[in-house]
């Protein structure tokens, strides 16, 4: 209604102005009683006349307004399309700017990376010794550096194009550059592969030369990170070349080192006849039975007569002792035996063989063969424990060096250590397992097997500290092989003790000192258990090997106690049986304490101490009952002298002089 009022007012003003211009009287204004919808009659007539007069103009105006409305509608549609197109263009512009910035960043990163790589390559030098061994290394290195120069020039061209061209052409130029860069990098990697092959070709015969070649390449890890990113296939070829040549180098090196060690290794000290009490040594058991009579008749302590003066038996008895072999475990990570030391040992062996050959005539004349035996003992041999330690330590260091080189130089996170270790060291690991199995099959020395288990566990822990997980399976196989053989040897000793029997020609009345040890079996058992507990106290705490040892000792103790019980039944009276038990159990306890095994520190010592104490009580009771009468007579005869009386006892002989009594 307000808009209509304003429209009527405007129309009336227009009509009034036009009539006034024509000389007609103005329209009378609406009275107060009239409304905008019901004007005065005169005004309505004038307005009607005015509308009729202006109708053609109104029609023309309406037509023009319709055209204007159509134009506005078309303009609105065009504007909407324009806005949509502008939005799309704006997104393209934003994307174009982002691509331009990314292209600029990539170009900067590539340029900076190449600058650093060229700086690293510029600082690399090849030692004269390595250069003389590798004839093609310098040529391949020069072609390799030329390839890097080509990459640098391509990056320079890219920077020039980006400074001269627009954004679109710059992006297209970057795409072309990436293709060109990939081609150039592939060429560079191919040439670097040739370089590695040439560098390691002469080194394939020696692990030492390979180490020198690795030191030559020690600064190129960043380079291969770049190459693996842009040309992974060609860079993988370089890695394959390194692994293949490493297998050849280490295979030859470690195999020859193992053969040299085994050639100078001591043969197995014990045979199946050297268990604690094998049937072949049953005749020695009679010495254990005659030990009690010998000790009583001669006054010689069984402890001091435990080892015969016979050289052969003394040496055989000592095989059940550690004999300083625990020192090999203590120096487990000391440098392995070098080839120079092996050559020196071979030279000494050759000299000893020459000396034996020169004295062959005199030794042949000797009835007991003492000459050849002396020359043979002079040949220097390496304990197998040292062979085991030296080779495994050299093997672990070789694998660790290759793993570190592959990780640092190639920087390939997807490199599988299992695959690398299996490819590069698979043959030599199989050769070692075969050699170890052959040695273990001929070994009956339980203490040596315990020492080998300690060494294998220490070296396995060292490999784990070096984070070489690929060696876990290898060392698990080594430990399991030695562990299985150790348990077999313990079972053989238990069976030998169970089957041991008294010699049929045993003479209890003889006091002759035999060439064999009076306590041959007992000393063997005591030395073995004492040495095993000594290893346990030093090296086997909180280990799986200790569980095997503690599981193996009780059956051995029960079998030996049963053997003592069977042998004691052959003695004529209880007193002799008691002395027999005291001699043997006392020898075992003295060996345990002499080998620095703490008192009461083991179940073995507590068990033998309990048996020894029981028989000691029986022996003391028997001695007291046997000599109580003599003690009473002695007290009666001595009492007068103690009280100061010089009268002889009633019915007795005159007292002796005081000095004689004293």
* Domain C-terminal end among 263, 295, 322: 263
Q: Do the domain assignments include residue 229? A: yes
Instruction: Please state, in angstroms and rounded to a whole number, the distance separating the CA atoms of residues 179 and 463.
Output: 44
Q: Flag whether the pTM goes above 0.85.
A: no
Q: Do the domain assignments include residue 95? A: no
3-state secondary structure 48-93: HHHHHHHHHHHHHHHHHHHHHHHHHHHHHHHHHHHHHHHHHHHHHH
- 224 and 135, same structural domain? yes
Q: Do the domain assignments include residue 396? A: no
- 545 and 424, same structural domain? yes
- 79 and 123, same structural domain? no
Give pLDDT, residue 478: 92
- 634 and 530, same structural domain? no
| Residues in contact with 562: Cβ distance below 8 Å, sequence separation at least 6, in sequence order | 497, 498
- 149 and 20, same structural domain? no
**Tokens linked to 430:** 């199989």
Give pLDDT, residue 133: 40
Instruction: Please state, in angstroms and rounded to a whole number, the distance separating the CA atoms of residues 290 and 298.
Output: 12
Q: Do the domain assignments include residue 631? A: yes
Helical segments of 202-269, H only: 207-216, 221-230, 232-263
- 310 and 201, same structural domain? no
- 82 and 65, same structural domain? yes
Longest Cα–Cα distance of the chain, Å, equals 200
Q: In 10 A of CB 552, how many CB atoms?
A: 19
**Tokens linked to 622:** 């028997």
Residue 113: CA atoms inside 13 Å, Cβ hemisphere, count?
Answer: 19
* Structural domain of 66: 2-90
Instruction: Please state, in angstroms and rounded to a whole number, the distance separating the CA atoms of residues 447 and 435.
Output: 20
Which residue, among 30, 22, 65, has the nearest Cα to 47 in the 3D structure?
Answer: 30
Q: CA 17, 23, 29: angle at the middle one, nearest 5?
A: 50
The span from the first CA to the last CA of the chain, in angstroms, equals 159
Give pLDDT, residue 388: 92
In degrees to the nearest 10, what's the CA dihedral of 442, 445, 451, 452? 10
Q: Do the domain assignments include residue 10? A: yes
Q: In 10 A of CB 154, how many CB atoms?
A: 18
pLDDT digits (tens, 9 = 90+) for 46-59: 767 777 777 777 77
Instruction: Please state, in angstroms and rounded to a whole number, the distance separating the CA atoms of residues 321 and 592.
Output: 12
**Tokens linked to 598:** 């703490």
Total H helices, total E strands in the chain: 23, 0
- 306 and 411, same structural domain? yes
Instruction: Report the domain count for the chain.
Output: 5
Residue ranges, the chain, pLDDT below 50: 30-34, 119-141, 167, 170, 279-317, 368-379, 413, 505-518, 599-600, 657-659, 661-662
- 499 and 468, same structural domain? yes
The residue to which tokens 């990539």 are assigned: 106
Q: Say which DSSP state 496 is in.
A: H
* Domain C-terminal end among 600, 615, 630: 615
* Domain C-terminal end among 29, 60, 90: 90
DSSP letters spanning 177-190: HHHHHHHHHHHHHH
- 486 and 377, same structural domain? no
Q: Do the domain assignments include residue 252? A: yes
Q: Do the domain assignments include residue 394? A: no
Q: Do the domain assignments include residue 390? A: no
Give pLDDT, residue 273: 59
- 552 and 651, same structural domain? no
- 440 and 330, same structural domain? yes
């Amino acid at each position: 209604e307000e808009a209509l009022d304003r429209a009527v007012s405007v129309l009336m003003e227009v009509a009034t102005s036009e009539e006034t211009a024509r000389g007609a009287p103005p329209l009378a204004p609406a009275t107060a009683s009239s409304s905008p919808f019901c004007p005065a009659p005169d005004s309505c007539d004038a307005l009607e006349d005015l509308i009729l007069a202006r109708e053609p103009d109104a029609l023309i105006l309406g037509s023009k307004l319709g055209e204007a409305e159509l134009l506005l509608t078309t303009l609105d549609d065009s504007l909407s399309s324009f806005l949509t197109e502008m939005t799309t263009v704006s997104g393209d512009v934003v994307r174009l700017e982002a691509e331009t910035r990314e292209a600029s960043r990539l170009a900067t990163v590539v340029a900076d990376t190449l600058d650093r790589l060229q700086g690293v390559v510029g600082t690399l030098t090849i030692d004269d010794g390595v250069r003389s061994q590798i004839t093609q290394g310098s040529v391949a290195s020069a072609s390799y550096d030329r390839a890097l120069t080509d990459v640098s020039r391509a990056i320079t061209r890219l920077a020039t194009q980006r400074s001269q061209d627009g954004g679109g052409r710059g992006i297209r130029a970057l795409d072309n550059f990436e293709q060109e860069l990939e081609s150039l990098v592939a060429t560079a990697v191919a040439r670097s592969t040739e370089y590695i092959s040439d560098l390691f070709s002469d080194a394939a015969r020696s692990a030492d030369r390979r180490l020198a070649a690795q030191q030559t390449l020690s600064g190129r890890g960043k380079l291969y990170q770049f190459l693996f990113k842009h040309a992974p296939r060609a860079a993988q070829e370089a890695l394959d070349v390194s692994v293949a040549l490493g297998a050849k180098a280490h295979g030859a090196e470690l195999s020859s080192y193992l053969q040299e060690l085994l050639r100078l290794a001591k043969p197995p000290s014990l045979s199946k006849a050297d268990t604690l009490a094998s049937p072949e040594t049953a005749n020695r058991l009679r010495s254990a039975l005659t030990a009690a009579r010998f000790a009583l008749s001669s006054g010689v302590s069984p402890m001091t007569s435990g080892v015969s003066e016979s050289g052969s038996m003394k040496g055989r008895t000592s095989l059940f002792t550690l004999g300083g072999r625990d020192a090999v475990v203590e120096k487990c990570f000391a440098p392995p035996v070098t080839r120079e030391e092996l050559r020196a040992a071979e030279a000494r062996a050759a000299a000893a063989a020459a000396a034996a050959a020169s004295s062959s005539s005199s030794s042949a004349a000797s009835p007991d063969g003492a000459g050849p035996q002396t020359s043979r003992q002079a040949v220097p041999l390496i304990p197998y424990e040292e062979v085991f330690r030296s080779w495994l330590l050299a093997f672990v260091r070789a694998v660790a060096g290759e793993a570190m080189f592959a990780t640092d130089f190639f920087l390939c996170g997807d490199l599988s250590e299992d695959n690398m270790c299996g490819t590069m060291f698979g043959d030599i690991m199989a050769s070692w397992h075969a050699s170890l199995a052959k040695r273990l099959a001929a070994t009956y020395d339980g203490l040596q097997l315990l020492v080998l288990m300690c060494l294998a566990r220490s070296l396995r822990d060292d490999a784990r500290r070096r984070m070489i997980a690929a060696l876990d399976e290898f060392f698990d196989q080594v430990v399991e092989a030695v562990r299985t053989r150790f348990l077999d040897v313990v079972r053989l000793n238990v069976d030998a003790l169970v089957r041991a029997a008294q010699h049929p020609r045993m003479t209890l009345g003889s006091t002759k000192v035999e060439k064999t040890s009076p306590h041959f079996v007992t000393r063997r058992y005591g030395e073995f258990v004492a040495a095993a507990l000594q290893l346990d106290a030093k090296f086997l705490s909180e280990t799986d090997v200790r569980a095997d040892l503690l599981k193996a000792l009780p059956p051995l103790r029960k079998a030996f106690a049963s053997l003592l019980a069977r042998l004691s039944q052959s003695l004529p009276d209880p007193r002799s049986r008691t002395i027999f038990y005291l001699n043997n159990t006392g020898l075992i306890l003295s060996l345990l304490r002499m080998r620095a095994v703490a008192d009461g520190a083991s179940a073995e010592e507590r068990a033998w101490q309990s048996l020894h104490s029981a028989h000691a009580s029986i022996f003391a009771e028997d001695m007291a009952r046997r000599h109580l009468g003599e003690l009473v007579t002695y007290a009666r005869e001595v009492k007068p002298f103690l009280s100061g009386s010089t009268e002889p006892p009633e019915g007795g002989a005159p007292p002796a002089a005081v000095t004689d009594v004293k």
